Amino acid sequence: MPEPSARLPVRLLVALALSAALGPLNSTMVAVALPEMSRTLPADSGALRQALVTSYLLTNIVLQSPGGKLGDRLGHRRALGLGQLLLAAGAALAYFWPVLPALSVARIVMAAGGAILAPSATALLRTELPPELRGRAFGAFGAVMGIAAGTGPTIGAQLVGHFGWTSIFLVNVPVLLLAAALAHLGAPAASRAPAAPRARFDLLGSILLGAALAALVLGLERTHLRWAAVVGALGFVPFVLWERRVADPVVDFSLFKQRAFVGGSLIIALQNFAMYSTIFELPQVAGRLFHVGPRDVGAVLLSMMGTMVLTSPFAGRGTDRFGARAVALVGCSLALAGTALLALRPLHALSDAIPALVMLGAGLGLSSAPSQSAAMSDIPREKSGMAAGLTSTMRYLGGVAGLTVLGLVLTDRPAPDVIMHEHTTAMSIYGAALLLTLGCTFLLPGRAAAPAPAASAR
């Protein structure tokens, strides 16, 4: 009979998974809705992508680290509730006021809520579960995040097809209500207390970090603002100088001395660079090349999600048995092979992408869980929110970087050979990013050595 402390708190885990999954779900669910939205709103798909997708990802990037630090100060359960409230408010605003200015504001509010939810949920796993359960819990949690991003287009396509594009916002509200109820029932009382009771919020550091990240991303995203990328890169200098002086920084650079944290965070960023971009690239290429709608693209992308669902459970068990490094190496290799196949195989029909998407999904399912688990495994309790915020920042920064590349590669030229050339170029770039993940896997911990047998008593 296992001890009570060794039992997984199922209600809490479901609440955390539902809450955190809405962040990546909302970042990809809107992808298939953009063509429908452009028919009713005074903007084309490109302008809508910047107003509703890039702004969402940018807000997430800017607020992830401060959101994690806020949880360390207020208590991760309180921070989780705040994030749920903000996300629900933004979703309701977008549904009841479906005009472009209100939608832009609503997406920023939703992103702010998601930026608090993700690190708070991850930190609760770190602080509330005993060590013997963290591997399985982090594995399942990382898988849920990846699956949420992968299922976004499929869910979005079904909602748009049956209920109209505004339904992609309303669907958040009942999910958040269920998650809040489960969190209230399943969270232990200790999670109400701050992880670091004397922590002081580093407001100036948060502003400096946010300004630098915002300028950098805007400069990369928009060709007429290239100067902003330089300003953003230079803006990290005063941020680093301030963080080294302040007593309780929003980013503790000592975390980057931990090999597993660095390796896991880089894998998360590089994989999201490729995954998010593929999810947004395929609908655009398929629409221009084969003139298919959101449902058809969503059905094909379902092949990637399905293999992620099937392989994710093996990732946690495999990590316990073989170590994070071995499982992540296999997963990253499969993801790289899938992207290479997308780049090399001509698309004569949309279904031609399915074998490559199956390989990509299998690789992501196997590698995301051990990467997330390894990144958080040795983090001190009082820094759990900060570390979770940093890994989430890397996740969304990878997504924005991928969309930036996508914007530079894709054009509106209708010639099939041009479309295929753009597709091949984009996939080659994403494959190069996944090639780097292979090296990052060697920063993750290997299989733990078995304890030596006790000496026989004489």
Which pLDDT tens digit goes with each residue over 154-195?
Answer: 788 888 888 888 999 998 999 899 888 887 765 555 455 555
pLDDT tens, position by position, 334-343: 999 999 999 9
Cα 119 from Cα 65, distance rounded (Å):
8
Name the band, by pLDDT with cuts 50, 70 and 90, for residue 106. Answer: very high
Name the band, by pLDDT with cuts 50, 70 and 90, for residue 354. Answer: very high
- Residue 41: the pLDDT is 84
- The separation between CA 362 and the C-alpha centre of its own chain, rounded to angstroms, equals 17
Of how many residues is the chain composed?
Answer: 458
CATH code reported for the domain at 4-202+248-443? 1.20.1250.20
- Return the domain boundaries, the chain: 4-202+248-443
pLDDT tens, position by position, 190-218: 455 555 555 567 888 889 988 988 888 77
pLDDT tens, position by position, 312-342: 778 877 877 788 899 999 999 999 999 999 9
Q: Considering only residues 2 and 44, tell me which one the structure prediction assigns the higher pLDDT.
A: 44
Question: What single letter denotes the amino acid at residue 118?
Answer: A
Question: Which residue intervals of 164-188 are DSSP H helices?
Answer: 167-170, 172-186
Mean pLDDT, range 127-142, rounded to an integer: 70
Name the band, by pLDDT with cuts 50, 70 and 90, for residue 458. Answer: very low
Cα 451 from Cα 156, distance rounded (Å):
49
Mean pLDDT, range 268-275, rounded to an integer: 90
Q: Considering only residues 159 and 454, tell me which one the structure prediction assigns the higher pLDDT.
A: 159
Cα 293 from Cα 286, distance rounded (Å):
8
Cα 18 from Cα 173, distance rounded (Å):
12
pLDDT tens, position by position, 401-437: 887 888 888 887 888 889 899 999 999 999 999 999 9
